[in-house]
């Protein structure tokens, strides 16, 4: 395991922004339809925003999002999400909103939406879906979470259904990092870290629509589970569609204890922090693609700083530190031109330039904020 995963573990306790906390702009999206497929249950995804129909960028469109749309359109579940404008280019705007559904919502408007860091998209990259008309698997998928799941966890995790098996990530580290838990034969259980590696973790990340694995932490890095340990000696080759398709010991057969529970950190795990030890001042940093990086201060406004401070539990206002020294920034500079509006209730909803390792170079352009309040809440 690399150093980066250790440092993530160290800060997880102070992240107060979790993708699961994002609000959706309910009411902004007024219609959803599939266009130009061979059946009514396949096609290009088109969304109406304030009266205007447009296509959806496919850059983060995944099977969980597609499940929710299929379900909502009475089309069963999603079988595949062909990329690259499979159903034609469409006309009108290409919406860049990114849905972060966990697959159990009944409507896309219930899924958190992010805009931050979205890449520009053309009509060659519009989302599509093939839904099934077969309802059986969806029904299984749709059963409510078992009572054994501790309260407060359900909204923070990604769940993907397939038959009666599911995989999800636990421990409030956000949607795309955490302890791997599998639902099998009516019971949730963990995975043992014997021969657990990034290739195995990547199968989980892909299954959850979280990109690829950056780290595969073992040793109960995200806390010890309880009850069943379902899988041991997992040895994926990387191409499997689900973790349970990988070679492993038989279900429930292991010589492990929960202190060996396996976890993942996927490339789409995101987090926010202010770097000084009080947690409420210093360099503004965003965790993206496995690395903490800076945010450039071009277009930085009072609204944006205020939202950052609120989101970190540091009071309602922030001021930009000026008089910064000249010099090259160390580490990536992930974002620039972050422009939060008064309507935004989360930093992740704010429009910005696309994710880019080097959005700016000079320390005078690096965002350093001092919030008005002390850190109030420590969540873990």
Q: What are the residues binding ligand NAG (CB under 6 A)?
A: 25, 36, 87-88, 90, 113, 195, 235, 237, 267, 289-290, 339, 341, 343-344, 349-351, 355, 357
CB of 87 to ligand NAG, least distance (A): 5
DSSP 312-368: TTS-S-EEE---PPPSBPPS-EEE------TT-SSGGGS--SPP-TBS--BGGGB-E
Name the residue nearer to ligand NAG (CB basis): 281 or 333: 333
Residues 115, 56: Cα–Cα separation, whole Å: 13
How many residues are present in the chain?
380
Residues 127, 161: Cα–Cα separation, whole Å: 21
CB neighbours of residue 76 within 10 Å: 19
Name the residue nearer to ligand NAG (CB basis): 97 or 181: 97
Name the residue nearer to ligand NAG (CB basis): 90 or 282: 90
Q: Give the torsion through C-alpha atoms of 132, 135, 140, 144, to 10 deg.
A: 100
CB of 160 to ligand NAG, least distance (A): 22
Residue 20 DSSP SS3: helix
Whether 367 contacts 299, CB under 8 Å: no
Residue 27 DSSP SS3: coil
CB of 114 to ligand NAG, least distance (A): 9
CB of 45 to ligand NAG, least distance (A): 13
The CB-nearest residue to ligand NAG is 341
CB of 183 to ligand NAG, least distance (A): 25
CB of 126 to ligand NAG, least distance (A): 10
Name the residue nearer to ligand NAG (CB basis): 216 or 280: 216
Report which secondary-structure segment, H or E, holds 54: strand 52-56
Name the residue nearer to ligand NAG (CB basis): 57 or 113: 113
Name the residue nearer to ligand NAG (CB basis): 90 or 189: 90
Whether 35 contacts 70, CB under 8 Å: no
């Amino acid at each position: 395991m690399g150093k980066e995963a250790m440092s993530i573990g160290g800060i997880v306790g102070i992240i107060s922004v979790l993708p699961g906390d994002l609000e959706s702009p309910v009411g902004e999206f007024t219609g959803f339809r599939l266009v130009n497929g061979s059946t009514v249950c396949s096609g290009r995804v088109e969304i109406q925003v304030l009266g205007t129909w447009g296509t959806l960028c496919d850059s983060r469109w995944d099977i969980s999002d597609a499940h929710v749309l299929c379900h909502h359109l009475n089309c069963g579940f999603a079988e595949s999400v062909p990329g690259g404008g499979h159903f034609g280019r469409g006309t009108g705007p290409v919406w860049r909103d990114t849905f972060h559904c966990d697959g159990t919502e009944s409507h896309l408007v219930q899924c958190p939406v992010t805009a931050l860091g979205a890449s520009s998209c053309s009509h060659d990259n519009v989302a599509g879906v093939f839904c099934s008309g077969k309802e059986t698997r969806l029904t299984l998928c749709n059963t409510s979470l078992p009572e054994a799941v501790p309260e407060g966890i359900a909204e923070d995790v990604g769940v993907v259904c397939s038959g009666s098996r599911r995989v999800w990530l636990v421990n409030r580290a956000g949607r795309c990092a955490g302890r791997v838990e599998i639902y099998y034969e009516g019971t949730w259980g963990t995975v043992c870290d014997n021969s657990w590696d990034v290739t195995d973790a990547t199968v989980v990340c892909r299954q959850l629509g979280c990109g690829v694995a950056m780290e595969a932490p073992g040793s109960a890095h995200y806390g010890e589970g309880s009850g069943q340990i379902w899988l041991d000696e997992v040895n994926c080759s990387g191409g499997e569609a689900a973790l349970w398709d990988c070679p492993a010991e038989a279900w429930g057969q292991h010589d492990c204890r929960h202190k060996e529970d396996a976890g993942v950190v996927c490339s789409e795990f995101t987090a926010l922090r202010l770097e000084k030890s009080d947690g409420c001042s210093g360099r503004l940093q965003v965790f993206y693609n496995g690395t903490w990086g800076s945010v450039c201060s071009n277009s930085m406004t009072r609204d944006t700083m205020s939202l950052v401070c609120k989101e970190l539990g540091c009071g309602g206002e922030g001021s930009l530190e000026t008089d910064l020294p000249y010099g090259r920034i160390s580490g990536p500079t992930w974002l620039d031109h972050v422009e939060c509006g008064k309507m935004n209730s989360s930093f992740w909803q704010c429009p910005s330039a696309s994710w880019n390792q080097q959005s700016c170079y000079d320390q005078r352009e690096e965002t350093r904020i001092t919030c008005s309040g002390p850190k109030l809440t420590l969540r873990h």
